[in-house]
Structure 1
């Protein structure tokens, strides 16, 4: 049985927010010169009243236009990931299904996939389809933390606030041999799961009220560890997939990764011996898109003809402080 990634559609909210926006708020920050926090030229921010469900609905418009509303309504499996759930007690899958007119047999909200959630969603969709649980799946991801958490008044003064951007994407997966998923590798590194934390001053649990706003608890030591893990994990899962499909990384037609910063992007393509023109990124236009990074960049490559029919594309990413990583290869069959 062959399962394919048939199409991707994306959405970026609002007008581009320039780097000068954050420069105007910047205060003294010991991490200001760290390679992790070199600001992109632009990024996008989710609207003040825009929900993750809104973002996914807008991202799905391209799929509806190209494949018809009936295709969406008849999807069997909905897999979602939202960086900042609209309600903390449950994911957005149910609301997304309703908004899109779907009544799927499976609705699954993923959290552990982080920046690699699209790859994890592909793996889950493939497994469910191959096991006979459905014919089609929709993977929906929304990154909405930039214009919310990172734009809080006391957080946007920090170096970390200038890097994230918001966006959403949906991918259509189905039993088909048109754009086959060649292989997927997913690895969990549970020993690192506690290394990403929310920091507040004065210290408290994230749900407790208090005067200080929450941000990611970065330190020089943690950043050094995350850089080392990311530099190692993404090439590891990428080489594992390439080995199994019988292609050398340097012979890939396209590499698409998550895009935390310029340093990771450079290190990953060098580790895979790929020239810059075959590693697609939108970092300067969109910043760190978290889980939306892979599908947004893959869709751009498809739409402008960089990824051609018959090309092999590899998607790879790591999540959080290095507690998960995944890579997936497809042979692109083109859009109808």
Structure 2
């Protein structure tokens, strides 16, 4: 939707764990090869968090870096939203742990779960909070420790995912030409397709028990071909709707930042939108799919590398389990 939400992104940050897991490393775990993984996904390596490294640890470091970039002190933050499907625990929320770790003593915090669309869902949620009340500064974070949900014997899924976190500082600003302005957004959901991409166990529908633990129900289950098809269709639709609401076309976009799930998906979206490869941001080869972290990590890397300049039009678009999808157009 296009709206009067007067909010801008004023700082970005990201954090990736130190451990690198390459395709050649995976050849030792499952029946696969670097050629097989690269050809089908575009992924060469991914980052894996340390055993004692939590989602909130990664989220907090990304948040600190975003705050530093924005020149904002932690106590100035009014709102923390963490998008994740791998929280530290069921409760308290990961946002509560982030608040404690970064010292954001004045912030309200909560988590949202929208899988790979989570960061864009959180961004839109934060915008409405900032425009609807006294809060003026928000931390929006996408953070995942997907290695905790991976079945390392399933070659169809274990090659896809990695860990990491990205964050953005969002501030209310009534100047229409303020840098980093989010000018339109779109979100969608189709729960009828929930079974195509899920972690079935661990909740109230399927508690983990001694009798079913060997089936590994608390790991990622995915119908790859169907997910691919819906991802391309929905991400293209979301992109077109957000651009239309902004009064723009794909030709106006300086950089598309798509969810980093599969190189073929990214190529298909760019082709359908008519966007050349050089105007599409990709770090999939380095990190794999980090779910809610992918968009903010890409945004931070594009920002810090000088890939985007003030005034550039950015298109952010994602698709994830649920199914969920979302897009945002930003004038940087």
Structure 1 residue ranges without an equivalent (≥5): none
Cα drift, residue 102 of structure 1: 1.1
Structure 2 residue ranges without an equivalent (≥5): none
TM-score by length of 1: 0.87
Task: Identify if the C-alpha distance between structure 1 residues 39 and 26 changes in structure 2 by more than 3 Å, giving closer, same or farther.
Answer: farther
Alignment of 1:56-205 (within 5 A): 56-68=59-71, 70=73, 72-111=74-113, 113-146=114-147, 148-150=148-150, 155-176=152-173, 177-198=178-199, 205=206
Cα drift, residue 163 of structure 1: 1.5
String of CA shifts for 1:297-329, please: whole Å, max 9, x gaps: 111111111111110101001111x52110001
Report if the CA contact (8 A) 1:26-1:159 is conserved. no
In 2, Cα distance between equivalents of 1:169 and 1:45: 15
Cα drift, residue 5 of structure 1: 1.2
1:43 aligns to 2:46 (yes or no) = yes
Cα drift, residue 217 of structure 1: 2.7
String of CA shifts for 1:99-144, please: whole Å, max 9, x gaps: 1111345312101x21111111111111111112410110112111
In 2, Cα distance between equivalents of 1:217 and 1:96: 29
Report if the CA contact (8 A) 1:156-1:162 is conserved. no
Report if the CA contact (8 A) 2:283-2:298 is conserved. yes
In 2, Cα distance between equivalents of 1:100 and 1:89: 19
Could you tell which deviates more after superposition, 181-190 or 79-88?
Answer: 79-88
Report if the CA contact (8 A) 1:198-1:206 is conserved. no
Of residues 6, 19, 22 in structure 2, which corresponds to 1:15?
A: 19
1:324 corresponding residue in structure 2: 324
In 2, Cα distance between equivalents of 1:33 and 1:18: 13
State how many pairs are aligned: 317
Aligned-residue Cα RMSD (Å) equals 2.4
Task: Identify if the C-alpha distance between structure 1 residues 288 and 120 changes in structure 2 by more than 3 Å, giving closer, same or farther.
Answer: same
Report if the CA contact (8 A) 2:141-2:296 is conserved. no
Cα drift, residue 9 of structure 1: 0.2
Report if the CA contact (8 A) 2:259-2:317 is conserved. yes
2:276 corresponding residue in structure 1: 275
Task: Identify if the C-alpha distance between structure 1 residues 35 and 243 changes in structure 2 by more than 3 Å, giving closer, same or farther.
Answer: farther
Cα drift, residue 16 of structure 1: 2.1
String of CA shifts for 1:186-236, please: whole Å, max 9, x gaps: 112122234334478xxx935223334343333xxx333212211110010
